[in-house]
């Protein structure tokens, strides 16, 4: 296919820069422990210094892949699909999620919310970042707010973000940044006991040594 045609299809969300896809156990947040098929889309310019998938950032290093191809693999593995990245909302998620949902699959997203919300979702995990704040519309529909705790100030940020949530059933999670987990856990534990509207989320897949 010509480069120009490919670019147009990527712009429409008919093709996406696919980094990897894998069947595993959701390691984080509300659905921790649930088997799910992960689709990791390349491209993110939020720039979290502690990001655990920096290889995802440059979309040009991941092959533009037709969404029908992505969906055909996904449907073989699981009825729960997690779209992550990179930042999936860099791209138009309508075509991909339409196809997944037409097969009756449950479609979840992991997102910073930094770009316009597209796509049709059964579960939205919003993990806001100070350096590129979420667009306002996602606070109305997030099912889970998962704030990464790297330092003490991140607890303040977590409360500010929780204030913006409009969906009263949204679950609130504090997740230690992996490299400082041992240092930060006592503070997080104490905080959650004091303010039990929060729950702790751990990156359990890293403890389990699975993808
Ligand atoms: C790699 S991100 C991709 C999705 C999207 N860009 C986002 O940030 O939500 C997936 C999840 O991992 C979290 N995460 C990334 N690096 C982490 C780290 N070093 N420690 C803990 N959580 C991390 C993110 O906050 C997000 O909830
Ligand atoms: N097992 C597993 N669970 C996850 N939950 C969110 C992840 C992500 O990178 O978005 C992730 C991941 O990379 N692996
Ligand atoms: S927004 Fe997500 S993918 Fe992008 S740098 Fe931050 S953690 Fe990594
Ligand atoms: Mg991950």
Pocket residue to mutate for ligand 1, from 49, 145, 175, most atoms within 8 A of Cβ: 175
DSSP assignment of 88-129: GGGS--HHHHHHHHHTT-EEEEEE---S---S--SEEEE--B
* Residue stretches of the chain with pLDDT short of 50: none
The pLDDT of residue 128? 99
What is the tens place of the pLDDT at every residue in 57-113? 999 999 999 999 999 999 999 999 999 999 999 999 999 999 999 999 999 999 999
Total length of the chain: 211
Residue whose CA is at the smallest distance from ligand 2 atom 9? 84
Which two three-digit tokens encode residue 23? 């069947």
**Whether the CB of 201 sits within 6 Å of ligand 3:** no
Closest CA to 109 of 72, 68, 141: 141
State the pLDDT at residue 28.
98
- 193 φ/ψ angles, rounded to the nearest 5 degrees: -70, -35
Furthest CA-CA distance within the chain: 58
Identify the structural domains of the chain with CATH numbers, from first to last: 3-208 (3.20.20.70)
Pocket test for ligand 2, best of 27, 43, 53, 56 (most atoms within 8 A of CB): 27
Per-residue pLDDT at 190:
98
* pLDDT for residue 2: 83
Which pTM does this prediction carry? Answer: 0.99
pLDDT at 1: 79
């Amino acid at each position: 296919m010509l480069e120009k045609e490919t670019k147009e299809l990527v712009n429409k969300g008919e093709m996406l820069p696919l980094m990897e896809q894998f069947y595993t156990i959701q390691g984080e947040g509300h659905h921790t422990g649930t088997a799910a098929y992960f689709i990791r889309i390349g491209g993110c310019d939020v720039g979290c210094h502690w990001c655990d998938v920096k290889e995802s950032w440059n979309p040009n290093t991941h092959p533009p892949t037709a969404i029908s191809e992505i969906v055909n693999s996904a449907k073989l593995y699981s009825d729960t699909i997690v779209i992550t990245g990179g930042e999936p909302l860099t791209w138009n998620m309508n075509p991909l999620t339409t196809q997944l949902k037409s097969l009756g699959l449950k479609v979840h997203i992991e997102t910073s919310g930094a770009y316009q919300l597209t796509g049709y979702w059964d579960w939205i995990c919003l993990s806001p970042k100070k350096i590129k704040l979420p667009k306002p519309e996602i606070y109305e529909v997030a099912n889970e707010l998962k704030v990464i705790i790297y330092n003490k100030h991140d607890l303040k940020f977590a409360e500010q973000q929780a204030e913006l949530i409009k969906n009263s059933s949204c679950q609130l999670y504090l997740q230690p940044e992996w490299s400082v987990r041992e240092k930060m856990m006592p503070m997080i534990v104490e905080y959650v006991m004091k303010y039990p509207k929060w729950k702790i989320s751990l990156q359990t897949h890293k403890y389990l040594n699975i993808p």
